[in-house]
Amino acid sequence: MSKFTALHGKHTDLGAKMGEFAGYDMPLYYDLGVKKEHEWVRSSAGLFDVSHMGQMILDGSGVVEFLEYITPSSFRKKKIGRAQYTVLTNENGGIVDDLIITKVGDNKFFVVFNAGCKDKDIEWIKSHMPESVNMEVLDRVLIALQGPKAAKIIDDTLQCDVSDMPYMSYMEVKSSCGQDIFISRLGYTGEDGFELSLPIDVGQRYWARFLEHEAVEPIGLAARDSLRLEMGYCLYGHDIDDTTTPLEADLGWVMGKYNKSYIGSGKVTEPKRKRVGIRILGKGVAREGAEIRTLDDKTIGSLSSGGFSPTLGQSIGQGYVPIEYASAGTKIFINVRGRNIEAEIAKMPFVTAKTKSMKAVKAA
């Protein structure tokens, strides 16, 4: 039986096309349709319900050292109010999940993790957690407001000036009834945008208030997927999983310079394969599972994600290929239903990011 977010009734009231995702009944698209929803986010601002994702607080003495043990990232010099995209690793260096960890106090971190990995992540973290560290799993609404008009809409709706917040930063504000709202300037679309964690009753009210703004439209998971694919972002269980290392996944930038003793660190060696972007040059749309072939028709991999890019007007994808084929510009075929379609290895992102400051994610 599907689970429901606290905003489920809001979606059905709007006539959303619903479907199962990570065990939840979620909105796939609304009246605009997938393509127009995608374009609306790129030009204005879209509102997403991402409350199916996990949220927790980790705090206590030794929490920094603990985070540097369960992830390959460095947190000891992280400033309060700064966020880090990272991964949990297993004993083989594989990726248990990808997640966002934000420092919200001297020994306190706010963690957002994937819906499909909730139970697994909680148990994994608990199984390695020292007694000095505490975990609080949160039951809150999580909504994302993404697009070039997002900052202005936050100001209009919350009366909160977020113009000076850099990318991958965090702040807390009070709702009109005095409850805490966590605002993070980040997202999975490549646009400027925010994720807001709110108490359930507050989240339900603000979902409706955001939709009253003329620049806002509700956006479903189908457009969220095409938006993240244009950015070359990973989808857990597809582009990354517990058999892929950060280096294979081209996520080496999450690995802290001085963090050498995280779980599985000895197994994260120079990879023989690499996650790459793929641009389809011929006619056709390639989906996950389509074979990647050399020009002499040798199969060297398959697409881990694939679909049509509304921004580019062509099919794009991601997949793993041997290192010798991983250079941008390498010509390949993608086999779609028995037909080889011309394609090439491409740099990611496919579309230029418009976040507040792309440098901030690595500098913090």
**Listed residue (68, 46, 44, 290) closest to 145, CA to CA:** 46
Q: Give the residue-averaged pLDDT of 20-36.
A: 97
DSSP 33-75: -HHHHHHHHHHSEEEEE-TTSEEEEEEETTHHHHHHHHSSS--
* pLDDT over 70 at 101, yes or no: yes
Q: What is the pLDDT of residues 264-282, one digit of tens each?
A: 999 999 999 999 999 999 9
Q: Quick one: 8-51+140-230 is in which CATH superfamily?
A: Probable tRNA modification gtpase trme; domain 1 (3.30.1360.120)
What per-residue confidence (pLDDT) applies to 73?
98
Helix (H, G, I), strand (E, B) or coil at 306: strand
Q: What is the pLDDT of residues 159-199, one digit of tens each?
A: 999 999 999 999 999 887 889 999 999 999 999 999 999 99
* pLDDT over 80 at 6, yes or no: yes
Give the separation between CA 278 and CA 320, rounded to whole angstroms. Answer: 10
When comparing pLDDT for 256 and 15, which is higher? 15
Helix (H, G, I), strand (E, B) or coil at 296: coil
* pLDDT over 60 at 358, yes or no: no
Give the separation between CA 210 and CA 213, rounded to whole angstroms. Answer: 6
* pLDDT over 70 at 363, yes or no: no
Q: Which residue has the tokens 């979620």?
A: 26
Q: How confident is the model at residue 364 (pLDDT cuts 50, 70, 90)?
A: very low
Give the separation between CA 303 and CA 107, rounded to whole angstroms. Answer: 41
Q: How confident is the model at residue 357 (pLDDT cuts 50, 70, 90)?
A: low
Per-chain mean pLDDT for the chain: 96
* pLDDT over 60 at 256, yes or no: yes
**Listed residue (264, 238, 247, 204) closest to 319, CA to CA:** 238
Domain coordinates of the chain in residue numbers? 8-51+140-230, 272-346
**How far from chain centre, in Å, is Cα 330?**
27
Task: Compute how many other C-beta atoms are within 10 angstroms of the C-beta atom of residue 261.
Answer: 11
Q: How confident is the model at residue 356 (pLDDT cuts 50, 70, 90)?
A: confident
For domain 272-346, which CATH number applies: 3.20.20.70, 2.70.150.10, 1.10.10.2840, 2.40.30.110?
2.40.30.110
What per-residue confidence (pLDDT) applies to 359?
46
Q: Give the residue-averaged pLDDT of 13-32.
A: 98
What per-residue confidence (pLDDT) applies to 257?
84
What per-residue confidence (pLDDT) applies to 260?
85
**Among the ranges given (15-19, 55-59, 226-230, 259-263), the one the predictor scored with the smallest mean pLDDT:** 259-263
pTM: 0.96
Q: Give the residue-averaged pLDDT of 108-123.
A: 98
Q: What is the pLDDT of residues 298-310, one digit of tens each?
A: 999 999 999 999 9
The arrangement of strands across the sheet holding 83-89 comes to 83-89, 95-105, 108-113, 54-60, 133-137
Q: Give the residue-averaged pLDDT of 142-146.
A: 98
Examine residue 72 and say whether the peptide bond preceding it is cis (omega within 30 degrees of 0): no
